[in-house]
Structure 1
Amino acid sequence: MQDGNMVANFEVTCVWDLKATLGEGPIWSAKDHAVWFVDIKSSKIHRYDVSIGSKQSWTAPSPCGFIAPRKRGGFVVGCKTGLYLFELKTGAFDLLTHIEPHLPGNRLNDGFVDAKGRLWFGSMDDDEANPTGALYRYDARGLKKMDDDYVITNGPAVSPDGKTLYHNDTLKKVIYAFDLDDDGEITGKRVFARLDTEGHTPPHGEGYMDGPVVDSAGNVWNALFFGWGVNCYAPDGQLIRRVKFPVSNVTKIAFAGRDLKTVYATTAAKGLSADDIAAQPLAGGLFSFEADISGQPQYEIDHV
């Protein structure tokens, strides 16, 4: 299949030109018809009301990698200094637990809630140099390290049948797949998809594997940092489509709306030169497009 035949004809528009340094982790909240996401480097949490277009922001205690909803209300936010409970009504952040106090150079990055209400998230070296990052599971049994040896983690995401977990090694440009059992244990780590660095313009080639999301058919939609868009992979790992963006650094998407077919995407200005910003002035904005397939529901943490 030629590249041109894989390009999806979706109209991508910027709905919030907030110029985030490192926008990340959009989630859909059906309860308040809003998309929530973070700007990691600015320690900001943002809310975009899709019904009326209103915008709100809060400052987190430290750089925040993800925000995840709780069944009891409010959110869990993953910050450099640990997991926090975030209460919307008061705007208060209460420390839930430290994660890696022995690794002060690390911070938390991307996160995900599975259908059983378990929280999954990764840590990474904030300097993006050392393989001190790890994948964690956090549920009623406590915190457990599931995998390690990552410089930059992204994901994870889980298939609709709950049997496959995907997690990215960003600098290696790889999406890994794991077998996931009912108890939340993972085995059988293998390469699911890899970006090709051959035949592409240096220094970044096709870009880097950023945040993954799995749709209702089991396709893996993976945002591309320095890659100008999103790749969509079939459950067998075959690249089946690309969505092009007007900015180079796409970090993650979320399926939203009543039919879960309205896609929102976070982007970043991080790593761009002044000339790059001049050429892509919407870098760091929140973008949207209408997809032809629905996503999975946004699940909620059930143990805190």
Structure 2
Amino acid sequence: MSGGPHSVLSVGATLGEGPVWVARDAALWFVDIKGPRIHRFDPALNIAQSWTAPGQVGWILPSDDGVFAVGLQSGVHRFDPADASFTLLHAPEAHLPGNRLNDATVAPDGAIWFGSMDDAEEASSGHFHRLHRGICTETGLPPVSITNGPALSPDGTILYHTDTLGKRIWRTDVTGDGSVANTRLFTRIEDDAGYPDGPTIDAEGCLWTGLFGGWAVRRYDPAGRLMREIRFPVANITKIAFGGNDLTVAYATTARKGLDLTALTQQPLAGDLFAFDPGVAGLPGHIATT
């Protein structure tokens, strides 16, 4: 693939999020949180499918039972595309009905790291959790209003987690037993550059982040230095995922959320799935052990 960001699937997502390349399926999966919809895109055949979720859906990840784990507002569910069924596995925040799950990743050991947020985007009630082999624990990281990520370094020893409204991305050490320590600032997004959304790590250990309201995605080196910015024809870029057989195509989800009629007229591709050449490969995805 060559060239800058271009729309590859017109879905008009209100809040597209959570792209993940599923190698066993040779397809990109992503969600529209507010849809609420789950989408599958096969780029080789240029075919798309979608399923309605029973509530706001923040992410979808392949699991070791051959189907998927998904983060709904009510908790982590098992999702089987064959019959469109959802089965509750864990409800880590049943005591916080105003929260919803927002973003997630799978670690090399199969653990799902995921965050929550205040659906009203006001209270600092968003937490990060870790789910592994049936045990779900709260990480103890400081709560924020909107969590994004987390993302993990290639060896799984560094956790990158985002405070979206605070415009900060943090890095935290992960120990062998899955606990966290030594949180420090990775980077802060400057004023007028949008808000850091979902982070993704490439094969060189660099971090990519979508910029909601920033018209761009950015790449930072492991020390937090800005390396590259890629501009988009839409304002709200939420997250990227590396896909294709060699993981050298970057797919980006976008959103129509918060755009008025004038903005939508100026951004007719808002909410579409985009693709571009990132100039670097991504990391092979891991399978979740729920």
TM-score, with normalisation over the residues of structure 1? 0.93
Query: Are positions 1:97 and 2:90 aligned together?
Result: yes
| Contact 2:256 2:270 survives alignment (8 Å) | yes
8 Å CA contact 2:236, 2:256 repeated in 1? yes
Q: Please tell me the residue identity of whatever aligns with 2:156.
A: G
Question: Match of 1:292, SS?
Answer: coil
Matched, 1:117 2:104: no
Counterpart for residue 271 of structure 2: 284
Measured in 2, the distance between the counterparts of 1:34 and 1:230 equals 22
Note the aligned Cα RMSD (angstroms): 1.1
1:1-304 alignment to 2 at 5 Å?
A: 10-140=3-133, 142-146=135-139, 147-197=141-191, 205-302=192-289, 304=290
Q: Which runs of 4+ in 1 moved over 3 A?
A: none
* Counterpart residue type for residue 217 of structure 1: E
Cα distance in 2 for partners of 1:279, 1:232 equals 26
Q: Distance in 2 between matches of 1:272 and 1:89?
A: 35
Report the CA distance between 1:148 and its aligned residue. 3.4
Contact 2:90 2:136 in 1 (8 A): no
Report how many residues are paired.
288
Q: For each residue in 1:200-236, what CA deviation from the matched residue of structure 2 results, as whole angstroms up to 9, or x when unmatched?
A: xxxxx10001000000101000110000010100011
Write out per-residue CA displacement over residues 256-302 of structure 1, whole angstroms, 9 at most, x where no aligned residue. 01111101000000011111101111000000012211111111112
Q: List runs of 5+ in structure 1 lacking aligned partners.
A: 1-8, 198-204
User: 1:64 & 1:184 partners in 2: Cα distance?
Assistant: 25
One-letter code aligned to 2:42 = D
Moved more, 155-164 or 263-272: 155-164
Find the aligned partners of 1:141 and 1:84 in 2 and give their Cα distance.
12
Letter in 1 for 2:44: S
Q: Secondary structure at the residue paired with 2:265? A: helix
Q: Deviations over 1:176-211 (max 9, x none)?
A: 0001122211111111010111xxxxxxx1000100
Mapped contact 1:10–1:291 kept (Cα < 8 A): no
TM-score, length-scaled by structure 2: 0.97
Deviation (angstroms), 1:164: 0.8
